[in-house]
């Protein structure tokens, strides 16, 4: 009996220990869930991020931002416009607002940059350089001009050297750590990065030729708008595919210089606008972006920062028949001559001083009263009303 009692007690203790283990596991599960919620709370989307948009007037800046906002009726401002884009992270069920500053296309408003890009906002700002396909001959000049203006402003910011170098270093790391979508799942991919060497500069590949020859310390995205106008350039200005390839290779070389991504967009035909929004949230908030580079359709080019190099750009050179890759941009993409009709301008008539006019009329009328200069009776009759009206006008004026 004693043995049976001992056996029964041991079975009871085993049941109790198993029950206790289940309770502990349940407690651990809840603890892990609470820890996950706590960690996700600390990883909320920041609210201090900014986008600065630079470009000439009529380049489509305001319309593009309105499209990213989901606004159908954009309102153009002047000087320095401010807007915001709602950003949502469905994975973490979080949302925030991305501030957007749009500078007027007149370089004379460059002094307003101090409000949009201060030393405090510098580490949290992405810059969009915008140019339109409606004036293809001016695209490269506009991009270079705005980049130079931006560089001058950055040089004048009261940034300490550590902050400036950290931002530049981060730009380089983002470029070097770029992976084609899917490569992160392939252990044999040469582009694969591991968590061990992400912080090890010695494992990073050297920068390709021409990349970051000018490192502003700012994340830059080049956006070519109104690409639907390419069909008009083909019909009315006899543009061929090699013209667009020539333009693209120069723009991509510019992007390499500043380590920038490149997007060809059309709000009218809704091309690449959604992808641009996702790319911005990827670069700013590190949200997923799984779209590879797109270079097949000439009006919907998409090149993430870190993908391009001179070898890939060289593929476009094979299509250039009547021009060379290093030809001066405006010699090949020349501004068309407009046939202006001669306009006959009317001679501007200077208005006579009112008092001088009245004085001259009074002198004329006084001469008519002189008998030696008196006109015929018929003329006196015809001038009678005038003689009566002019003194009245003089009294009214005085």
pLDDT in tens, 50-85: 999 999 999 999 999 999 999 888 887 789 999 999
Residues 309 and 369 in one domain: no
Examine residue 390 and state whether it is found in any structural domain, yes or no. Answer: yes
Residues 71 and 212 in one domain: yes
Give the whole-angstrom CA distance, residue 188 versus residue 205: 16
Q: What is the mean pLDDT of residues 256-261?
A: 98
Give the whole-angstrom CA distance, residue 85 versus residue 50: 10
Give the whole-angstrom CA distance, residue 160 versus residue 20: 58
CA angle 304, 273, 148 (to 5 degrees): 55
- Residue 21 confidence class, pLDDT cut points 50, 70, 90: low
Work out the mean pLDDT of the chain and round it to a whole number: 82
CB 178 within 8 A of CB 224: no
In this prediction the pTM is: 0.73
The pLDDT of residue 20 is above 60: no
pLDDT at site 231: 96
The pLDDT of residue 347 is above 80: no
The pLDDT of residue 236 is above 80: yes
The pLDDT of residue 195 is above 50: no
pLDDT at site 351: 79
Residues 238 and 381 in one domain: no
Total domains, the chain: 2
Q: What is the mean pLDDT of residues 212-234?
A: 97
The pLDDT of residue 270 is above 90: yes
pLDDT at site 363: 84
Q: Which two tokens stand for residue 73?
A: 């009726």
Residue linked to tokens 């695209």:
139
Examine residue 246 and state whether it is found in any structural domain, yes or no. Answer: yes
The pLDDT of residue 277 is above 60: yes
Residues 378 and 306 in one domain: no
Query: Chain-centre distance of CA 388, in angstroms?
Result: 71
Residues 260 and 378 in one domain: no
What is the Cα Rg of the chain in Å?
36
Question: How many CA atoms are closer than 13 Å to the CA of 118, on its beta-carbon side?
Answer: 5
Give the whole-angstrom CA distance, residue 62 versus residue 79: 12
The pLDDT of residue 154 is above 90: yes
pLDDT at site 310: 95
Residues 145 and 76 in one domain: yes
Residues 266 and 316 in one domain: yes
CB atoms inside a 10 Å sphere around CB 310: 14
pLDDT at site 147: 98
The pLDDT of residue 131 is above 80: yes
Examine residue 343 and state whether it is found in any structural domain, yes or no. Answer: no
Q: What is the largest CA-CA distance in the chain?
A: 166
Residues 179 and 246 in one domain: yes
Residues 262 and 371 in one domain: no
Range of the domain at 390: 354-397
Q: Which range is most confident: 36-45, 277-286, 331-340?
A: 277-286
CB 129 within 8 A of CB 220: yes
Residue 58 φ/ψ region, left for φ over 0, alpha for ψ in the -120 to 50 degree band, beta for the rest? left
Percentage of residues in the chain having pLDDT higher than 70: 73
CATH of the domain at 311: 3.40.50.300
DSSP structure string for 312-379: HHHHHHTT-SSS-TTS-HHHHSPPPPP-PPP--PPPPPPPPPHHHHHHHHHHHHHHHH-GGG---HHH
Give the whole-angstrom CA distance, residue 282 versus residue 89: 11
Residues 295 and 369 in one domain: no
The pLDDT of residue 237 is above 60: yes
Q: What is the mean pLDDT of residues 257-264?
A: 98
Examine residue 304 and state whether it is found in any structural domain, yes or no. Answer: yes
Examine residue 196 and state whether it is found in any structural domain, yes or no. Answer: no
**Beta-strand pair 302-303/261-264:** antiparallel
Give the whole-angstrom CA distance, residue 130 versus residue 104: 12
Give the whole-angstrom CA distance, residue 257 versus residue 252: 9
The pLDDT of residue 91 is above 50: yes
Residues 175 and 218 in one domain: yes
Q: What is the mean pLDDT of residues 91-107?
A: 93
Residues 97 and 155 in one domain: yes
pLDDT at site 76: 79
Residue linked to tokens 């009214």:
396
pLDDT at site 196: 34
Examine residue 17 and state whether it is found in any structural domain, yes or no. Answer: no
Query: 286-289, long-range: CB within 8 Å, 24+ apart, which pairs?
Result: 287/89
Percentage of residues in the chain having pLDDT higher than 90: 62
Q: Which two tokens stand for residue 161?
A: 């050297």
pLDDT at site 393: 47
Instruction: Identify the domain boundary among 278, 300, 332.
Output: 332
Residue from 119, 69, 120, 127 nearest 101 by CA: 127
Q: What is the mean pLDDT of residues 89-112?
A: 93
Identify the residue with better confidence: 289 or 32.
Answer: 289
């Amino acid at each position: 009996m004693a043995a049976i009692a001992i056996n029964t007690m041991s079975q009871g203790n085993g049941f109790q220990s198993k029950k206790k283990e289940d309770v502990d596991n349940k407690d651990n599960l809840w603890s892990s869930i609470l820890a996950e919620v706590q960690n996700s709370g600390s990883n909320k989307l920041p609210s201090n991020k900014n986008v600065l948009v630079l470009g000439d007037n009529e380049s489509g800046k305001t319309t593009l931002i309105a499209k990213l906002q989901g606004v159908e009726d954009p309102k153009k401002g002047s000087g320095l416009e401010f807007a915001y884009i709602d950003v949502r992270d469905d994975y973490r069920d979080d949302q925030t607002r991305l501030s957007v500053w749009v500078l007027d296309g007149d370089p004379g408003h460059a002094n307003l940059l101090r409000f949009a890009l201060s030393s405090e906002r510098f580490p949290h700002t992405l810059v969009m350089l915008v140019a339109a396909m409606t004036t293809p001959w001016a695209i490269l000049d506009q991009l270079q001009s705005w980049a130079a203006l931006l560089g001058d402003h950055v040089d004048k910011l009261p940034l300490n050297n550590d902050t400036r170098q950290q931002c530049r270093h981060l730009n380089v790391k983002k470029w070097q750590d770029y992976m084609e979508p899917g490569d992160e799942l392939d252990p044999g991919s040469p582009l694969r990065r591991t968590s061990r060497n992400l912080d090890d500069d010695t494992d990073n590949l050297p920068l390709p030729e021409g990349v970051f020859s000018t490192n502003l310390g700012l994340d830059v995205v080049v956006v070519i708008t109104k690409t639907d106008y390419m069909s008009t350039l083909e019909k009315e200005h006899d543009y061929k595919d090699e013209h667009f390839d020539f333009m693209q290779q120069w723009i991509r070389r510019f992007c390499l210089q500043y380590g920038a991504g490149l997007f060809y967009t059309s709000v009218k035909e809704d091309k690449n606008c959604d992808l641009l929004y996702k790319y911005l949230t990827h670069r700013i908030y590190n949200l997923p972006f799984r779209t590879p580079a797109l270079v097949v359709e000439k009006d919907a080019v998409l090149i993430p920062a870190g993908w391009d190099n001179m070898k890939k750009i060289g593929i476009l050179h094979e299509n250039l028949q009547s021009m060379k890759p290093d030809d001066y941009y405006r010699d090949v993409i020349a501004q068309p001559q407009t046939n202006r009709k001669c306009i006959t301008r009317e001679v501007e008539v200077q208005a006579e001083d009112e008092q001088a006019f009245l004085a001259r009329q009074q002198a004329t009328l006084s001469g008519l009263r002189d008998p030696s200069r008196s006109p015929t009776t018929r003329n006196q009759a015809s001038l009678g009303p005038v003689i009566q009206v002019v003194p009245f006008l003089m009294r009214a004026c005085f």
